[in-house]
Structure 1
């Protein structure tokens, strides 16, 4: 990649920067596709239970710890991206992911598996996750939402690619050797792409139109003031609700289909693949909408879809397969949307130059939502004997989210903004 700091002379991949920048999106998608294998953990669970003599609860621990470490690490990594550079941080994340997978491949018990896959690989994902989005956001100041939404599609659609890949490897080589193969492969792919993960010069703007848009929307310097902003707390709470509901739904998709709708396990697995498509498609769509509408309106639309899904499931019964598919497609669609809406709202509401740090802080909401969302739905099932009771709090939270988005998910008063 050749570059120059002189606006029109800047090139990417041998092309003028305004054209070459589009190659960064599929490259970022590929990085996130590798990292998104964490969502395919269910493929590894049963083979690990057999090989390591684990209980169902034990086999879930690496996944839960990976999500937690990923969510904790990302805000920390955000503060080092501008200091160490996007290329070096991406390379470090790739190596850490590879070490985690490799260690897990030699595990002889749940402790080493949790340490390797859960802690180390989870940290690697947290280090790397935000970088492709930060790069896309900086290269596309005129299309922030669309660029971020397209880039993050890789993470959402990862199970469609990596789950069948992992299944084939496990059938051929066994689960632990498959972890080693995947870890080495992901490390090499991300290391190669890391050389392209660069930010544009601060003076670079793609066009006069984009220059005008950027100047009008630029808030004051954050994150020092972001934590004092009501907008931050509105976004954080809305994001927590969106991920809580979405990850609750993801965690119970198959068992709800089998227990409440009485579909067989093969049909339940096929349904999850359909849901994953909706999860991926919603990301560029929500990003595109956030470029054109205020984030609060997009958030309200997301919560409305969640509420519709809850109402459908509260009235569903055995044999109502269409109702089940529509409802859970809405849940997965909304979760994917939030993973594009939240970073785009961070760009819209706060200084985009501080995006890596800002979104790292905002992303802690995902960690809270992930931790609670993977636990609460199952706990309600144990308490009341049916998954149907999970849809009452999910619907109630959607209503709370609509209220919060209406009154808190908006830019602060003009005194916090740069004068136009």
Structure 2
């Protein structure tokens, strides 16, 4: 038996790191001023967000590989430096190529490395609370914009959007790197049991983990990756366009819209913890059914009640549900394919998220442009997409109902 670090210190440190790299969710506050300052269209600016997300699976898989090999600390350190540097350099971009390189590629790779390392490493410490742990970890990511949005808005007003990017990116490097010093590596091929948690020791756990080659031969893999994409679509549509939707469709001022971006992020953060905890009780599939149903309902609210109150209700509901999607799927992947290769496996499943991240902002922006800034028709598209997700989840539940074996801890 070997001594293990305090898992809660690792958890809190990981949350601090993801509160830096999660600044991507405040992009809607920065996108408009960036467009105006450089004469780029919103569609061109949103392409940077799309590239950032679309490249996600590459660093996620690479970071997952490093994590599975016991090198999560290095993956995280490299990630926070790349992300902060890419974010800061975005403020100096004078061409679309530079924008896409700095924000899309550098910041995108940095975010993927840090996210993969933090999530896949930390969740291994919590076999007894997988949903809660993944919810708290991803809450750091979702909660970033609560702080970043008002700070970015204030810096834009006082110093300009370029300075906002430079100052914030520099801060992310410093804060993220300091937090990474407290990261400890989880056991590669074992998990903590209840007894081990109490005694602060490691006990081996036999498992039927599948590597990525075995995973992609499973029907469940394709259902899960598609479910992830359809669930993330709506949240990414709002995350990338919240400020624009609030101003163009609901008539809010820029400052008020920035407040709602923070409110969305707060809801996103809470949703990851709340739904992650609920999934530990109800199971991931039942939780997904509830989440996707609420998503459809919230878009109906946005369509029928285009008032400030309607926008607030929709933003809060959709934020909670987007957080739920991000909090539930890591543990769903681990339950299906085991802990040993979680880093690489989740990185591959993350392709579903990245596909939605590439498509959702561009589709919603294109629809708004063709409708004079009105996003209402984009809401209808989101409803159809999430209904597809409900159908896929129903198929998944039927397929696994007769073969599900609870993953029990060794005492």
Provide the TM-score with structure 2 as the length reference.
0.87
1:404 to 386, 392, 397: 392
Which stretch shifts more, 332-341 or 399-408? 399-408
1:303-334: CA deviations, max 9, x gaps?
A: 110121122233224xx432332123222221
Is 1:25 the counterpart of 2:14 in the alignment?
Answer: no
Is 1:360 the counterpart of 2:328 in the alignment?
Answer: no
Map of 2:375 onto structure 1:
387
Distance change (3 Å), C-alpha of 1:274 and 1:73: same
Q: Give the Cα separation in 2 of the matches to 1:412 and 1:228.
A: 19
1:366-417: CA deviations, max 9, x gaps?
A: 1111111112223233445642222322222222222211221564875999
Structure 1 position 163, deviation (Å)? 2.2
Distance change (3 Å), C-alpha of 1:313 and 1:414: closer
Which stretch shifts more, 157-166 or 28-37? 157-166
Map of 1:369 onto structure 2:
356
Structure 1 position 200, deviation (Å)? 3.0
Tell me the SS of whatever aligns to 2:56.
helix
Q: Which has the higher contact order (CA 8 A, sep 6+)?
A: 2
Which structure: larger Rg?
Answer: 1
Cα contact 1:290–1:345 (8 A) shared by 2? no
1:238-291: CA deviations, max 9, x gaps?
A: 110011122123344344444544444444333333222211100011111222
Structure 1 position 356, deviation (Å)? 0.4
Is 1:74 the counterpart of 2:60 in the alignment?
Answer: yes
Q: Give the Cα separation in 2 of the matches to 1:127 and 1:146.
A: 22
Is 1:116 the counterpart of 2:102 in the alignment?
Answer: yes
Q: Give the Cα separation in 1 of the matches to 2:91 and 2:367.
A: 34
Distance change (3 Å), C-alpha of 1:304 and 1:277: same
Which stretch shifts more, 352-361 or 38-47? 38-47
Which stretch shifts more, 294-303 or 52-61? 52-61
After TM superposition, what 4+ stretches of structure 1 lie above 6 angstroms from structure 2?
Answer: 214-217, 415-420
Q: Give the Cα separation in 2 of the matches to 1:170 and 1:323.
A: 28
Distance change (3 Å), C-alpha of 1:400 and 1:103: closer
Q: Give the Cα separation in 2 of the matches to 1:391 and 1:50.
A: 26
Structure 1 position 178, deviation (Å)? 3.8
Distance change (3 Å), C-alpha of 1:63 and 1:141: same
Task: For 1:249-260, list aligned pairs within 5 A.
Answer: 249-260=238-249
2:297 to 302, 308, 324: 308
Cα contact 1:239–1:338 (8 A) shared by 2? yes
Cα contact 2:90–2:103 (8 A) shared by 1? yes
Map of 1:274 onto structure 2:
263
1:324-374: CA deviations, max 9, x gaps?
A: 321232222211111111112112221112110110011010111111111
Q: Give the Cα separation in 2 of the matches to 1:43 and 1:313.
A: 20
Cα contact 1:43–1:166 (8 A) shared by 2? yes
Map of 1:245 onto structure 2:
234
Which stretch shifts more, 59-68 or 173-182? 173-182
Q: RMSD in angstroms over aligned alpha carbons?
A: 3.0
Is 1:44 the counterpart of 2:11 in the alignment?
Answer: no
1:231 to 199, 220, 223: 220
Structure 1 position 418, deviation (Å)? 9.8
1:30-63: CA deviations, max 9, x gaps?
A: 1001101122223333443454343333333332
Provide the TM-score with structure 1 as the length reference.
0.85
Structure 1 position 194, deviation (Å)? 2.4
Tell me the SS of whatever aligns to 1:139.
coil
Which stretch shifts more, 396-405 or 340-349? 396-405
Q: Give the Cα separation in 2 of the matches to 1:169 and 1:266.
A: 12
Map of 1:16 onto structure 2:
none
Map of 1:132 onto structure 2:
118
Cα contact 1:107–1:113 (8 A) shared by 2? yes
Cα contact 1:310–1:392 (8 A) shared by 2? yes
Distance change (3 Å), C-alpha of 1:233 and 1:36: same
Unmatched tracts of structure 1, length 5 or more: 13-19
